[in-house]
Amino acid sequence: MTTNLRKFLSLTTALVMTSSAVAYAEPSAELIEAAKKEGMLTTIALPHDWCGYGEVIAAFKAKYPEITVNELNPDAGSADEVEAIKANKDNKGPQAPDVVDVGLAFGPQMKAEGLLQPYKVSTWDEIPDNIKDAEGYWYGDYYGVMSFLVNKDLVENTPKDWADLMKPEYAGQVALAGDPRASNQAILGVLAAGMATGAAAGKDAGDAGLNYFAELNKAGNFVPVIGKSGTLAQGATPIVVMWDYNALAARDTLAGNPPVEVVVPDKGVLAGVYVQGISAYAPHPNAAKLWMEHLYSDEGQLGWLKGYCHPARFNAMVKAGKVPQDLLDALPPAESYEKAYFPTLEEVDANKAAVTAGWDSVVGANVQ
C-alpha cells in the first residue's frame, strides 16, 4: 500500500490491469440460502445519491426479495460507522451494522481494532492489490477526485482553484460536505487544500490545510454547515467542496434548478479511494457476504459507475469490453484526472490524524 495508487487507478492508463481474468462466478447456492435464512442486511452511511447507491440497493432487493435491507443513518461519516460497530458489539438488533463503506484510512484502523472479519469475493483477483488487504479484511470499492460544486445563480465568477476561494466575493459561500472531525470526504477536502499550497501529502498538507481553512474562516468565506445539494440550492452553501461523483450526481438531481457547475481545481487535485468491510460482529454475516458479492459483480460495479464513481474493477471490465460506451461517455473528461494524486495509505493516515486532532484548535469552526 506504500506505492502511489496512480499506477493502477489513473483514468489515463485505464486499460492497464494486473489481472487478465474476466470470469465472474455467481455466489454459491449455499451462501444465498444462508443469507435468505438470516432475512436481513443492515447497512449504514449509504445515501441513495452517493455513487448510485439507490439503484445498487434496489437491484439487490430485486435479486433477493427474501432479504430486507435495513438502512441506518445515510448521512453518517466514516468515523460514525466505526463507532456504530463499537457501540453494538453485543447487539444483534437492527442498530448493528453488518457492513461498512469507509475512507481508505479507516479500513486498516478497523482491522487493527478487531472490528472487521475477512471475506474475499469471487472477483477478488480483479481488485488491484494496492487497494485491498491481503487477508481480505477490507477492499477498495470506488474512487473519484475532489471538486467544487457551484451554484451559478448565486456565484457569478466560478472559482477555478483553491486560492480563488479566499477572494472577498466568496464571503459566506464555501462549505465542506461533512464534518472534518469525522467525515472522510471533509478530511480529504482539507488535505487537498493543503496540497494546493505546495505542501507534501500527509501531515504537512494536513497542517497546511488546517491553516488554509483557518484563514478562510477568518476571512468570513467559510460556512460551518455540512454542504449538500439541498443547502446549495437553498443558498446556504453556494460552493461545496465534495467528491466529483457526488457533485455530478447533485447536478443531475437539481436538473438546472439552480444551474450548477462542477469544477476540478487546477492545483491540489486529490483522488480518494473508499473501502468495504464486513463487521466482525455482523448479526447477518451471510447476507453481508452476499451483499459484497453483489457490489463486486459486473452489475454492482456498473451501478457505481452510473453514479459517476470509478469502481475497483473498472480497468479489468473496460479491458474485457464489459463497460457500455454510453457510461464511458458520461464520465468527466480524462484530462480532469491527469493531475490527480492518489495518496498512499500512510499519507492518508497522517493527514487524518492531523486534521481530526487539530480542526477545533486551529480552525475553530463547529461544522454541523
pLDDT tens, residue by residue, 172-227:
999 999 999 999 999 999 999 999 999 999 999 999 999 999 999 999 999 999 99
Which CATH number do you get for residue 138?
A: 3.40.190.10
Cell of 265: 481545481
Average pLDDT over residues 266-276: 91
In a domain, 89, yes or no: yes
Query: Does the pLDDT of residue 339 top 90, yes or no?
Result: no
Q: Pick the residue with more confidence: 318 or 155?
A: 155
pLDDT exceeds 90 at position 130: no
- Residue 301, domain member (yes or no): yes
Q: Is the bond preceding residue 47 a cis peptide, omega within 30 degrees? A: no
User: How many structural domains comprise the chain?
Assistant: 2
Asked if the structure places residue 95 within a domain, the reply is: yes
Comparing 14 with 277, the larger pLDDT belongs to 277
| 94 shares its domain with 108 | yes
Q: What is the mean pLDDT of residues 240-255?
A: 93
| 17 lies in the same domain as 100 | yes
Residue 4, pLDDT above cutoff 80 = no
80 and 66 belong to one structural domain: yes
Assigned domain for 1 exists: no
Mean pLDDT of the region 242-269: 93
Name which of 363, 77, 75, 80 is nearest 223 in CA terms.
Answer: 363
Q: How far apart are CA 339 and CA 196, in angstroms?
A: 12
Query: Do 173 and 287 have their domain in common?
Result: no
Mean pLDDT, rounded, for 323-335:
83
3-state secondary structure of 197: coil
For residue 248, what is its C-alpha cell? 455530478
pLDDT single digits (tens) 117-129: 999 999 999 998 8
For residue 20, the model assigns a pLDDT of: 34
Residue-level pLDDT at 26: 81
Burial string for 293-326 (b: 16+ CB within 10 Å, else e) reads bbbbbbebbbbbbbbbbbbbbbbbbebbeebeee
Half-sphere exposure (Cβ direction) of 195: Cα atoms closer than 13 Å: 24
Is the same domain home to 136 and 205? no
**In 3-state terms, what secondary structure has residue 98?**
coil
Q: Is residue 350 domain-shared with residue 205, that is, in the same domain?
A: yes
Classify residue 248: in a domain, yes or no.
yes
Answer yes or no: is 368 within a domain: no
**Is the pLDDT reported for residue 251 higher than 50?**
yes
Q: What is the pLDDT of residue 25?
A: 62
- Of residues 7 and 65, the one with the higher pLDDT is 65
Answer yes or no: do 355 and 218 share one domain. Answer: yes
In a domain, 151, yes or no: yes
Same domain, residue pair 94 and 125: yes
Q: Which residues of 107-140 are buried (b: 16+ CB within 10 A; e: fewer)?
A: bbbbbeeebbbebbbbbebbbbebbbbeebbbbb
Q: Are residues 86 and 17 in the same domain?
A: yes
Domain membership of residue 126 (yes or no) is yes
Regarding whether 67 and 211 lie in a shared domain, the answer is no
Radius of gyration of the chain from Cα atoms? 20
168 or 318, which is more confident?
168
Same domain? 197 vs 98: no
Q: Which pLDDT score, from 0 to 100, does residue 3 have?
A: 41
Query: Which of the pair, 316 or 295, is modelled with greater confidence?
Result: 295
pLDDT of residue 221: 97
The verdict on 348 and 212 lying in the same domain is: yes
Which domain range does residue 178 map to? 144-270+341-363
Kindly tell me if the per-residue pLDDT of 102 is higher than 80: yes
